Amino acid sequence: MTGKAPGAPARDGQPAWRASRLKRVEAAAIGALGYPLAAALGRTWRWEARGTEHLDAVRASGRQPILALWHGRILPAVLYFRDRGIVAVTSENFDGEWIARLMRRFGYAAARGSTSRGGSRALIQLRRDLAAGRPAAFTVDGPRGPARRAQAGAVWLAKATGNPVVPFHIEAARGWELPSWDRGLIPRPWSRVAIVLGAPLEVHGDADPDAIEAARAELERRLAALEGEALALLAG
């Protein structure tokens, strides 16, 4: 969801990602080639959505959602929420670079940072973006796991801004599971794909460390429950 690299600022106001020219070219190529492939695949999916009223309720309250998902559901999530001006956290490494480039083509902005590098800077940018009326998104077990173990970044952001965390989960009737730490899901062409959004998780501005941990654990519990609801939706 590095140490500060010197040099010219990157897009979205983030410091430049330090890498060799070859790596930068490679990341750009992956983003450019991945876009038409992902877009074409996504057009074949048959979406079934539940819980979208929670997003409507957050916006009706004059706030923006802090979307929270597992890292392994990045690809279908990017396709579902495309072109909504969402600012997503991506890590300051090679994977984060090509993911950020790909996501920009789908209408996202990137806040670069993670729990290991640049996290404070990303949270500062997200506070500004939320104040400007832009939704935010976190893969709460990224960028390195452990899988399905929520970290507290989204909860801290909710405490700092007054915007609620809205968890969601995606499952596919037919898909490929990648042999990666996050068991990434790629729905197969023409598969039914279910997305279930949960009720907003509110975090009070005066929450102490114990309350933050309780909210983090509750977010993890809700994401696990939403997985079951998504699977049930596909089975119904």
In this structure, are residues 111 and 125 in contact, taking their beta carbons and an 8 Å threshold? yes
Model pLDDT, residue 116:
52
| CA–CA dist 150, 169 (Å, integer) | 13
Per-residue burial over 1-29, b = 16 or more CB atoms within 10 Å of its CB, e = otherwise: bbeebeeeebebebbebeeeeeebeebee
pLDDT at site 16: 45
Domains of the chain: 12-235 (3.40.1130)
**Mean pLDDT for the stretch of residues 52-78:** 97
- Residue closest to 70 by CA, chosen among 180, 224, 177: 224
The whole-model pTM stands at 0.87
Q: What's the pLDDT tens digit per position in 1-27?
A: 322 322 333 334 444 445 677 777 887
pLDDT at 115: 52
pLDDT of residue 1: 38
Are 230 and 194 spatial neighbours (Cβ–Cβ below 8 Å)? yes
Rounded (5°) CA angle 53-158-60: 30
